[in-house]
Amino acid sequence: MNGVTLRRDETSPHVAEIVLDRPEALNALSTAMAQHLTEICAETAADPAVRAVVLSASGEKAFCVGADLKERNTMTDAELMAQRPVFRAAFGGVLDLPQPVIAAVHGYALGGGCEFALSCDLIVADKTAVFGLPEVSVGLVPGGGGTQLALRRLGPGRAADLVLTGRRLDVDEAREFGLVDRKVPAGTAREEALSIAATIAANSPVAVRAAKRAMRLGAGTGSLDAALDIEENAWRTAAFSPDRQEGIAAFNEKRKPNWPS
């Protein structure tokens, strides 16, 4: 087993679920697991039938506790450097998925686990969730996007609080920080994330992808005028697609749309 499983939701065929599936190691990210995750993300990104993605985890204790430090404990500097692009590709695979991605978090989401959640568009967490970027406590800097994603999601002060102290946040403080979008009862994060994904998947796939791209690109643009130009391009992509014609026709005919894309 390479520690990652790809599932399709039987009740919503346009939703894919990527499962961090190494519960015996609290879903710690090994080199083999990172390689497999990259492959699964590429497969999912290229599948036109997938309109929304849920990132979940198996086991009861953790979403993901970050890099497998037992594996790293025996690594030479050269081996650590060789692992680096493998890990970057795994985190980049999640971050660059063109479909909206919802993280379903329970238990520990530490280090790379927190970064996987930050790479998603929405974070659903149950009351057992604990978030943290503790890399500075073991002589490292977050390397899965943590410094930059936290900065963009939380703002400079809260990002500094999370990254520079290495402290942990329970689900309530994480929600107060803006790190968690929806808090749910214990054991229900996956169910809620799948429900959200199904709602998204029922919308126009052209419009949803264009909107996600506009928000992602706009977040890194300093000028409002430039960001509005990005939005204009997204609007044109959807407005002059067959999805717009079908969506407006379905609205007027009081029926569910049958998206052509």
Residues tagged active-site: 115, 135
Residue 59, strand partner residues: none
Q: Quick check: 62 and 97 in contact, CB under 8 A?
A: no
The CA-atom distances, in angstroms, between 45 and each of 4, 16, 32, 137, 211 are 16, 10, 20, 35, 16
Strands 4-8 and 15-20: antiparallel
